[in-house]
Structure 1
Amino acid sequence: MSSQDLLKSASTLASYNVLLQVMFRVLTFLLNAFTLRFVSKELIGVVNVRLTLLYSTLVFLSREAFRRACLSGGPGGKHNWRQLVNLLWMTLPLGFFWGVLLACVWLWLLEVPDPQAVPFYGPAVVLFALAGVQELLAEPLWVLAQAHMFLRLKVVAESLALLAKCGVTVVLVVWARQWGLYIFAAAHLLYTGVLVLCYVGYFLHFLPSEEAIKSHFPLRSVRDLIPHRAHGEPLLDWTVARLTWSFFKQSFLKQILTEGERYVMTFLNVLSFGDQGVYDIVNNLGSMVARFVFLPIEESFYVFFAKVLERGRHVKSQREEDVSVAAEVLECLLKLVLVLGLVIAVFGYAYSGLALDVYGGSMLSSGAGPSLLRCYSCYVLLLAVNGVTECFVFAAMSQEEVDKYNVVMLALSVSFLFLSYMLTWWAGGVGFILANCLNMALRILHSVLYIHRYFLSSRWAPLRGLQPSPLLCLALAVSAGVTVISERVFCCDGGWLLRLVHVGVGAVCLLFVLLALLLTESRLVVFVRTQLLPQYRKKHT
C-alpha cells in the first residue's frame, strides 16, 4: 500500500473514530446528567474515579505495549500474523495477573467507602476487574482490524456496546436504585461482553468468505486465531516481542501520566468522594472536545506514521516520497490541533460557568466548578499539541530511543505525582490541572526537540505548524476580551434572555475567528476538507 493510500485510510479511520468518540461522549454526557438526578455525588465519585481507574489500569497495562509494537512497521513491511496473534494472546494471562493484583489493592489497601452511601463496593471491584479481563478476549482481533483498516468494525462494535451499557444503566438507575454499585458493574460487564461478541462474530463471518481470499488476508481460518506454532516457524516474532517489552516498561509511566490525578485522589485521599465526583464531572465535560477530535486523530495517525516511516532509520535513508507525505501531514496536524486548542481555550474561559449551570445546576456552577473548567480549557491546548507530537515521535523512535525515553518518562512521572500532591493541597482540584499543564509542557518540549532533530538535515520543517497566522492570533485575542466582558455583563444571574445574549456574542466572535482562519490558513482548510472529512458515500459504494 502506498503512502498516499495509507494517508487516505488513516484519514478515513480518524473521521470514523471522531464520529465514534462524539457518540460515545455525548451519550456519556447525557447519562451523567441523568444519573446526577438519581444517585449521590459520592457514588458517582467512586464509580467514575476509583472503579474506572481500576478498569483502565488493568486494560492499559495489559494491552497498550502490544498494540504499539504490533502496529509498527515501515511501508511494505511484512508481519507473520500467526506469530503476532500468538504474542497478542499473552494479554489475557497478563490481564488475569493485573486483575488479581489490582483487586487486592482496591479491596484491602484503599479506604473503603461508607456502605450506607456507596453500597456493594467489594463485589463491584471484582466485577470491574472481570470486565477488563473480558475485554482482552478481543485484543488479537482488534489489532488485526486496525492493521488492515477495517474501518467500520470498531465503530459498529463500540456503538452497540455503548448503547447496551447506557440502556441497562438507565433502566437500573430508575427501577433498581437500591442495587448501588451493582448497577454500574453490570452495565460495564455488558459493555465489554457485547464488544467481544461483535469482534468474534465479524471474524467468524469474514475469514471463510471470498472477500478474505480476494484481499489476501494473512489468516485463512478460525484456527489461525488460536495460539499455535506453525510448522518450521518460531512461536513468536521475537523482534516484535522485544519491542513490546520496551513499550511495556514505558506503559507504567505513561499510565501514571495519563491517570495521575486519579491515582493521587485514590491513594492519597486529598479529596473526599463527593469532591472527586464533582472534579470528575467537570473533567469529563472539559475533555469532551479533546476526546471527540484529538484522541481519534492521535490513534489513527499513529498507525499512518508507523506504516509510512521505518522505525529508527535516519530521514535521509528513507523514501523521499514517504518522508515528504509524513512531514506535510505532521505540519497540517500540528496547525489543526493548535488552532482548535486556542479556540477552546479562548471561548472555554468565558463560557465555563454557563456550561456548568446548564449541565448540572448550582451543584456544579457554584464553588470551584467554573475555575476547574476554565483551567481545563487551557490544558486542552497543551493536550492537543502533545497528542500529535508524541504520536509522531513514538512511531519514528528506534527501540533504543524508546528505552532511553523511559528514563525521561520516569522523571516526569515522579515530578508529576509530587506536583499533583503539593498543588492539590494548595489549590484543591485546580492543582491537579496545573500539575497536568506543567507536565504536558515538558512532554511537548521533549517531542518538539526530537522532531526538530529528526528533520534538521532535510528540507522539511513540519514544526512550522505551531505558528498560527498574525491575523488569526489577533482575532482570538479580540474574541477573548469581548467574551470575558460579555460574561461579566450578561451572565449568569440575569435570566435566560441575557444568557442568550452572551451566547450570541460568542457566536459572532467565533464567526470572526473562522473568517480569519479561512483567509489565512487555506492549506489547513484544504487538508481538513480532503483528508479529515472524506466522502464516505463515494468511498464505500
Structure 2
Amino acid sequence: MGSEEVLGQAAQLASSSLLLQVLFRLITFVLNAFILRFLSKEIIDIVNVRLTLLYSTILFLAREAFHRACLSGGAHRDWSQTLNLLWLTVPLGVFWSLFLGWVGLHLLEAADPDAILHYGTGVAVVELLGEPFWVLAQAHMFDKLKVLAESLSVILKSVLTACLGLWLPHWGLHIFSLAQLFYTAVLVLCHVVYFTNLLGSPGSSKPQALAVSRITDLLPSLTRTRASVNWKEAKLTWSFFKQSFLKQILTEGERYVMTFLNVLNFGDQDVYDIVNNLGSLVARLIFQPIEESFYIFFAKMLEREKDAARQKQEDIAVAAAVLESLLKLALLTGLTVTVSGFAYSQMALDIYGGSMLSSGSGPVLLCCYCIYVLLLAINGVTECFTFAAMSKEEVDRYNFIMLALSCSFLVLSYLLIRWCGSVGFILANCFNMGIGITHRLGFIHCYYRGSAYRPLAGLRLSPLLLGGFALSGRITSVSEMFLCCEQGWPARLVHVAVGAFCLAMTLGTAFLTETRLIHLLRTQLGASRLANKLT
C-alpha cells in the first residue's frame, strides 16, 4: 500500500471518527436532558463520575498498551502471534475489573455495590472479547465498519436507557449498567458478523492484504513450530503497559483526586465536571479522532528502531509533511478556541446552565480550560508521532519522565486546589502537559536532525496571522464588556455577530498565509475520496 493511499485512508478514518463524535455528543446531550426528568440528579452524578471513571480506567489499563504495540507492527509480521497477544486483554480486563470493583466497594462509598461490581466485570469481559476484531479492523482501516458498529451501538444503547428510565426508573444504577453491557455486546457482535461475512463467504471480495483467511484464524492458536506470541511485540506491549498507569493518572488525575481525597465539595465537583465536559468538547470532537487515526498512519509509515536517515525516504518525506501540517492545524485550532473562549465563556455557561454556572467560578474555569485546549491540541499530535516512532528502549526511558510527571501532577493539583480552588486542577494539567510537550518536541527534533526535513516548522505562524489573533482577542473582549451578559438577548446576538466577524477575518488570514497547509488539506481530501473508491 502506497504512502498516499495510507494517508487518504487515515484522513478518511479521522473524518469518520469526527462525525461519530458529533453524533455521540448530540445523542448524549439529548439523552441526559430526557432522563433527568425521570431519574434523580444523584444517580446521574454517580454515573457521570464514578461509573464512567471505573469504565474508562478498566479498559484503558487492559487494552491501551496492546493497541499501541499491535497497531505499529510491520506489514510482514505473523498476525497469528499478534492475535494471541491481543487475547491476553480478556484475563487482564477481568483482573482489573475485579480489583477496581473491590476498591470501589471497600475504599469508597458506593451507592449500589452490586451495580458497581457487575458493571465493571461485565463491561470489561464483553468489550475485550472484541479486541482482536477491533485491532484487525483498525490496522486495515475499515472505516465503514467503525461508523456502522459504533453508530448502531450508541443509538440502541440510548434507546434502551430512555425506555428503562421511562418504564422502570426504580432500577436506578442498574439501568446504566444494563445499557452499557448492551452497547458493548452490540459493538462486538457487529465486528464478529462483519468478519464472518467477509471471510466465510466463498465469493466475497477480501482485501488483498487481509492478514487472515478464515474466521477461526482470529481465535487463539498454539503451535509447536514457533512461539505463540511475538516476544519483541510482547516486550513493547509491556513497555507501553507500564506507561498506561502513568498516562491514566495524567488523563483522569483530577477525578481520582476528587474521588479519593474529597478536596472539593459536591457542588464544586458538579461545576468542575460540567465545565470540564464543555471545555473538552473540541478535544474530543477534533483532536482525539486525529490522534487515533494518524497514530495508525505514522505506525504504518515509520519503522521502530530506525531514525529518519535510515527510513524509506519517500515514507519519511510524507510523514514529515503530514506532521508539519498536523502541528500547524492543531496550533491554529487551539489558538482559535483560546482567543474565542476568553470572550464567550461566561455567555456559553449562562446559556447552558443559567446563573448557577455563569455567576460563580465557572467562567474563570472555562477561560483557563481554553488555554489548556491549546496545549491539548499540540499534545495529541506530538504523542501520536512519538509513540509510533519510539523504540522499546525509548519508550522505557519515557516512562520515567511520565512517572515524574504523574507524581508532580498529584502533588501540584493537591497544593493548587488548596490555594485557588478547582482552577488548580487545570493549572496543574497545563504545567505537566507543557513539560511533556517540550520533551516530545525535543524527540521530534532529534529524530529529524540528520535529514533535510523540519516538521517543527509547523509551530511557526506568520506575523500577520498572529496579529489577526491578537486583534480578534482585543475586539471580542471589548465587545464582551459592553454587550455581555446582563444586556439581554439583542446585545448578546450583536456580541455573537462580532465574534463571527472576527473568526471569519482570522480564518481568511490563515487561508491567505498558510498556503502549504491549505494545499495539503486539499490533497488529503482528494486522497480520502480515492481511498473511499478503493474500498
Same fold (TM over 0.5): yes
Q: For residues 339-397 of structure 1, give each alpha carbon's deviation from its aligned partner in whole angstroms, at most 9, with x where no partner exists.
A: 00000001111111221222222332231222221111110000010110111111111
Shift of 1:540: 3.3
Aligned to 1:102: 100
- Amino acid of the residue matched to residue 185 of structure 2? G
TM-score by length of 2: 0.95
Deviates more, 1:156-165 or 1:166-175: 166-175
- Amino acid of the residue matched to residue 463 of structure 2? P
Aligned to 1:19: 19
Shift of 1:4: 1.8
Deviates more, 1:211-220 or 1:133-142: 211-220
Aligned to 2:72: 72
Deviates more, 1:425-434 or 1:332-341: 425-434
Aligned to 2:478: 485
TM-score by length of 1: 0.94
Determine whether 1:266 maps to 2:259.
yes
Shift of 1:29: 3.1
Distance 2:39 2:273 in 1: 15
| Gap change, CA 1:392 and 1:537, over 3 Å in 2 | closer
Determine whether 1:339 maps to 2:332.
yes
Distance 1:124 1:282 in 2: 26
Note the residue ranges of structure 2 that are not aligned, 5 or more in a row: none
Distance 1:406 1:37 in 2: 46
Q: For residues 213-259 of structure 1, give each alpha carbon's deviation from its aligned partner in whole angstroms, at most 9, with x where no partner exists.
A: 46252212121111112462321111111111111111111111111
Q: For residues 186-208 of structure 1, give each alpha carbon's deviation from its aligned partner in whole angstroms, at most 9, with x where no partner exists.
A: 22122111111111111111112
Aligned to 1:111: 109
Residue of structure 2 aligned with 1:208, choices 200, 204, 211: 200
Question: 2:126 touches 2:184 (CA, 8 Å); kept in 1?
Answer: yes
Aligned to 2:49: 49
Residue of structure 2 aligned with 1:411, choices 404, 422, 434: 404
Aligned to 1:193: 185
- Amino acid of the residue matched to residue 299 of structure 2? A
Determine whether 1:162 maps to 2:154.
yes
- Amino acid of the residue matched to residue 111 of structure 1? E
Q: For residues 432-453 of structure 1, give each alpha carbon's deviation from its aligned partner in whole angstroms, at most 9, with x where no partner exists.
A: 1111111110110000111111
- Amino acid of the residue matched to residue 517 of structure 2? L
Matches within 5 A, 1:117-516: 120-209=112-201, 210-211=203-204, 213=206, 215-230=208-223, 232-516=225-509
Distance 1:482 1:174 in 2: 48
| Gap change, CA 1:36 and 1:487, over 3 Å in 2 | farther
Distance 1:382 1:470 in 2: 21
Shift of 1:125: 4.1
Shift of 1:177: 3.3
Question: 2:480 touches 2:495 (CA, 8 Å); kept in 1?
Answer: yes
- SS of 2:200's partner is coil
- Amino acid of the residue matched to residue 304 of structure 1? F
- Amino acid of the residue matched to residue 343 of structure 1? T
Shift of 1:477: 0.7
Question: 2:338 touches 2:370 (CA, 8 Å); kept in 1?
Answer: yes
- Amino acid of the residue matched to residue 481 of structure 1? R
Shift of 1:537: 8.9
Question: 1:128 touches 1:189 (CA, 8 Å); kept in 2?
Answer: no
- SS of 1:259's partner is helix
Question: 1:45 touches 1:273 (CA, 8 Å); kept in 2?
Answer: no
Question: 1:356 touches 1:370 (CA, 8 Å); kept in 2?
Answer: yes
- Amino acid of the residue matched to residue 130 of structure 1? G
- Amino acid of the residue matched to residue 130 of structure 2? A
Distance 1:150 1:492 in 2: 47
Distance 2:531 2:52 in 1: 40
Distance 2:521 2:206 in 1: 34
Deviates more, 1:384-393 or 1:417-426: 417-426
Deviates more, 1:140-149 or 1:494-503: 494-503
Aligned to 1:116: none
- Amino acid of the residue matched to residue 88 of structure 2? M
Deviates more, 1:473-482 or 1:365-374: 365-374
Question: 1:41 touches 1:277 (CA, 8 Å); kept in 2?
Answer: no
Distance 2:147 2:358 in 1: 34
Distance 2:353 2:78 in 1: 52
- Amino acid of the residue matched to residue 183 of structure 1? I
- SS of 1:322's partner is helix
- Amino acid of the residue matched to residue 83 of structure 1? Q
- Amino acid of the residue matched to residue 104 of structure 1? W
How many aligned residue pairs are there? 533
Distance 1:373 1:219 in 2: 48
Shift of 1:478: 0.9
Question: 2:86 touches 2:132 (CA, 8 Å); kept in 1?
Answer: yes
Shift of 1:274: 4.0
- Amino acid of the residue matched to residue 124 of structure 1? I
- SS of 2:425's partner is helix
Aligned to 2:517: 524
Distance 1:175 1:421 in 2: 43
| Gap change, CA 1:386 and 1:454, over 3 Å in 2 | same
- SS of 1:207's partner is helix
Shift of 1:486: 1.3
Distance 1:28 1:356 in 2: 18
Question: 2:334 touches 2:373 (CA, 8 Å); kept in 1?
Answer: yes
Distance 2:87 2:241 in 1: 15
Note the residue ranges of structure 1 that are not aligned, 5 or more in a row: 114-119
- SS of 1:220's partner is coil
Distance 2:379 2:209 in 1: 37
Distance 2:25 2:221 in 1: 39
Distance 1:519 1:537 in 2: 27
